[in-house]
Structure 1
Amino acid sequence: MRVLITGGGGMVGRNLQDYLASKGYEIFVPNSKELDLCNYTDVEEYLQVVKPDFVIHAAGKVGGIQANMREPVEFLMKNLDMGRNIVWASKSVGVRRLINLGSSCMYPRGYNSPLREDQVLSGELEPTNEGYALAKVVVSRLCGYISAQSPDYQYKTIIPCNLYGQYDKFDPAHSHLIPAIIHKVYQAKINNEPTVEIWGDGTARREFMFAGDLADCLVEAVVRFETLPALMNVGLGYDYTINEYYQAVADVMDYKGSFHHDLTKPVGMARKLVSVEKQVSWGWQPKHDLKSGIEKTFKFYLQEMVDEL
C-alpha cells in the first residue's frame, strides 16, 4: 500500500513514520519544500504523480495558547488552506481512503462532562484558539460531506485529545503544555531556581496522551479502516489538573522546588475531556500512562533538544 503522510516533519507525522515503517508500507512524506500544501495546484499535481492508495492528513500550524492568541489569522488560514487542499485534491485524483486529524479544540467550551463526537458545532468555541478550531471543523465537515455525497470515497476524521511526546516542540513561544512544563522545570532545576510559575490557579483540567499512542491508533486505523467510525475521538478517557502535570514532571526530574501561580494569565477552557466510548467499542486503548510518557519525552528532550534552545 502507498501511504501519503502530510505533516511528516511534525510530532504526529514523525511518530507515525516510526510505527508505519514496521508494516512494510510504501510511505511518502514530502516536506514543505517538496510540497506546498497551501497551493492547491501543487497538491493536485503531487498526488497525480505519487498516486497514493491512502492519505493521512497530519499537517497543520500548531502551537500553545500564546501562539494561538497572537496569530489567529495565520492559524485559521493556514490550517484551512492545507486541509481543504489535501482533501479536495485527493477526491479530484481518485484517492478513495483518507484519514483527517481533527482536534479537541473543535468542541464547544464550557462542558465539564466528556465531549462526544456529536457535540461538534453544538456551542461556542473557546476564544483563545477559535481560529484553529474553525479550520479544523470545516475540514472535518468537508470530509463528511464528500463521503455522504460520494460513498465510494471514505474520508474519516480522528479527533485526538491533546498530545505530547517525542519530536514535540519545546520552545516556550510555540510549545503546548507538557513540553513547556518540561522545559520550564528543567531550566529551574539546572539553574537552582526555587520556584516555577504556573499560569492561573492550576485547577483547569486537561487530557494529554503520548503521541506514540496516537501513531499506534492510526496504524490500526489503516489496517482496519473499513470498521473505523467516520468521526472518532482518540484519548485516555481521564484527565489531570495543570498542577498535577507540573508535579508529575517535577517527580520525573526530581525537582525539589515549589510552584507559584500567576492569576493574571489566561488558562483557556476549564476542562476539555473527550469521550472514548466509540474508541473503546472499536477496540483500541492507549498503552502509556502519564509517568512513562513523560519519562520518554524528557529523555528525548535531553538527547535532542537542550542544545537547540
Structure 2
Amino acid sequence: MKILLTGGRGMVGRNIVSHAKTLQLEIIAPASHDVNLLDAERTEAFVKETKPDLIIHAAGRVGGIQANIREPVKFLSENWMMGQNVVSAAKSAGVKQLINLGSSCMYPRDQEEPLREEQVLGGMLEPTNEGYAIAKCAIARLCEYVSREDSAYQYKTIIPCNLYGRFDKFDPSVSHMIPAVIQKLHVARADNAPFVDIWGDGTARREFMFAEDLAEAIFFAIDRFDAMPSLINMGLGYDYSINEYYGAAAEVIGYAGQFKHDLSKPVGMKRKLLDVTRQTEFGWRAKTNLKDGIRATYEYYLSKEA
C-alpha cells in the first residue's frame, strides 16, 4: 500500500511518519514547498502524479487558544481550502480510501457529558476556536457526502481528542496547553521562580492523548478500514483538570514552586471529553499514561533546547 500523508511536517504528521517506518510501510509526506495545499490545481496534479492507494489528511493551520483568538480568518479559510482541495483531488484522481483528521473542537460548547459523534453540528461552537472548528466540521461533512454519492469512495473522519507529544510546538504564542506548560515550568525551575500562573481557576477539564498513540490508532484503522465507522472519536475516554496537568508536569520536570490562578484569562470550554464507545467497539484503546507521555515530551523538549 502506498500512503500519501498531508501535514507530514507537523507534530501529528511526524508521529505518523515515525510509526509508518516501524511498520516498513511506503509513505509519501511532502513538505509545503513540494505541494501547496492551498493551490487546488497543484494539489490535484500532485495526487495524480503520486497515485496513492490511501490518503491521510493531517495538514492544517493549528495553534492554541491565543492563536485562534488572534487569527480566526486564517484558521477558517486555510483549513477549509486545504481540506476541500485534498478531498476533491483524491476524488478526481480515483483514490478510493481517505482518512481525514478532525478535531474535538467540532463539538458544541458547554457539554458536561462525553461528546458523541452524532453531536457534530448539533449546537453552538466554542467562540475561542470557532473558525477552526467550522472548517473541520465542513471537511468531515464533505467526506461524508463523497461517500454518500458514490459508495466506492470511502472517505472517513477520525476525531482525536487534544494531542501532545514528540515534535510538538513549545512557543507559548502558538502551542497547545501541555507543551506550553512544559516550557513554562522548565523556565520557572531554571529561574527558581516562586510561582507559576495558571489561566482561570484550573478546574476546567481536558482530555490529552499522546500523539504516538494516535499514530498507532490510524494504522490500526487502516488495517481494518472496511470495519471503521465513517466518523469515529479517538481518545482516552477520561480527562484531567488543568490543575492536575500542571501538577503532573511539575512532578516530571521537578518544579517545586506554587501555582497562582489568573481569573482574568480565557479558559475555553469547561470540559471537552470524547465518548469512546465506537472506538471501544472498533477494538482500539490508548496505551500511554499521562506522566510517561509528559516525560517523553519533556525529553524531546530538552533535546531541542540542547
TM-score range, shorter chain: over 0.9
* Partner-residue secondary structure (3-state), 1:286: coil
Give the Cα–Cα distance (whole angstroms) in 1 for the partners of residues 22 and 148 of structure 2. Answer: 33
What is the deviation of 1:59? 0.4
1:194-213 matched pairs, under 5 angstroms: 194-213=194-213
Which TM-score applies when normalising by structure 1?
Answer: 0.98
Q: Deviations over 1:224-268 (max 9, x none)?
A: 111111000000000000010000000001111000011000000
1:262-301 matched pairs, under 5 angstroms: 262-301=262-301
How many positions carry a matched residue from both structures?
A: 306
Give the Cα–Cα distance (whole angstroms) in 2 for the partners of residues 46 and 106 of structure 1. Answer: 29
Give the Cα–Cα distance (whole angstroms) in 2 for the partners of residues 205 and 26 of structure 1. Answer: 38
2:186 maps to: 186
* Partner-residue secondary structure (3-state), 1:172: coil
Asked if 1:72 is matched to 2:58, the reply is: no
* Partner-residue secondary structure (3-state), 1:4: strand
1:105 maps to: 105
Q: Give structure 2 stretches of 5+ with no counterpart.
A: none
What is the deviation of 1:223? 1.2
Q: Give structure 1 stretches of 5+ with no counterpart.
A: none
Q: Which moved more, 1:21-30 or 1:135-144?
A: 21-30
Give the Cα–Cα distance (whole angstroms) in 2 for the partners of residues 253 and 31 of structure 1. Answer: 33
Give the Cα–Cα distance (whole angstroms) in 2 for the partners of residues 153 and 22 of structure 1. Answer: 28
What is the deviation of 1:25? 2.0
Give the Cα–Cα distance (whole angstroms) in 2 for the partners of residues 54 and 156 of structure 1. Answer: 11
* Partner-residue secondary structure (3-state), 1:196: strand
* Partner-residue secondary structure (3-state), 1:285: coil
Asked if 1:24 is matched to 2:14, the reply is: no
2:15 maps to: 15
AA partner of residue 29 (structure 1):
A
Give the Cα–Cα distance (whole angstroms) in 2 for the partners of residues 153 and 269 of structure 1. Answer: 35
What is the deviation of 1:48? 0.9
1:158 maps to: 158
Give the Cα–Cα distance (whole angstroms) in 1 for the partners of residues 45 and 110 of structure 2. Answer: 43
1:243 maps to: 243
Give the Cα–Cα distance (whole angstroms) in 1 for the partners of residues 251 and 281 of structure 2. Answer: 34
1:130 maps to: 130
What is the deviation of 1:22? 2.3
Give the Cα–Cα distance (whole angstroms) in 2 for the partners of residues 192 and 21 of structure 1. Answer: 41
Give the Cα–Cα distance (whole angstroms) in 2 for the partners of residues 163 and 241 of structure 1. Answer: 15
Q: Is the 8 A contact 2:106 2:120 kept in 1?
A: yes
Give the Cα–Cα distance (whole angstroms) in 2 for the partners of residues 20 and 254 of structure 1. Answer: 34
Which TM-score applies when normalising by structure 2?
Answer: 0.99
Overall identity of the aligned pairs, in %: 58
1:139 maps to: 139
Asked if 1:88 is matched to 2:94, the reply is: no
AA partner of residue 183 (structure 2):
H
Q: CA RMSD in A?
A: 0.6
Q: Deviations over 1:67-118 (max 9, x none)?
A: 0000000000110000000011100110000000000000000110000000
Q: Deviations over 1:1-48 (max 9, x none)?
A: 110000000011000011111223221110000000000000000011
Asked if 1:173 is matched to 2:169, the reply is: no
AA partner of residue 143 (structure 2):
C
What is the deviation of 1:222? 1.2
Q: Is the 8 A contact 2:20 2:26 kept in 1?
A: no
Give the Cα–Cα distance (whole angstroms) in 1 for the partners of residues 301 and 290 of structure 2. Answer: 16
Give the Cα–Cα distance (whole angstroms) in 2 for the partners of residues 5 and 167 of structure 1. Answer: 16
Give the Cα–Cα distance (whole angstroms) in 1 for the partners of residues 26 and 232 of structure 2. Answer: 26
Give the Cα–Cα distance (whole angstroms) in 1 for the partners of residues 273 and 14 of structure 2. Answer: 25
AA partner of residue 3 (structure 2):
V
* Partner-residue secondary structure (3-state), 2:259: strand
Give the Cα–Cα distance (whole angstroms) in 2 for the partners of residues 80 and 259 of structure 1. Answer: 39
Give the Cα–Cα distance (whole angstroms) in 2 for the partners of residues 238 and 289 of structure 1. Answer: 11
What is the deviation of 1:142? 0.2
Q: Deviations over 1:111-149 (max 9, x none)?
A: 100000000011000000000000000000000000011
AA partner of residue 257 (structure 2):
G
AA partner of residue 170 (structure 1):
F
Give the Cα–Cα distance (whole angstroms) in 2 for the partners of residues 219 and 17 of structure 1. Answer: 11
1:116 maps to: 116
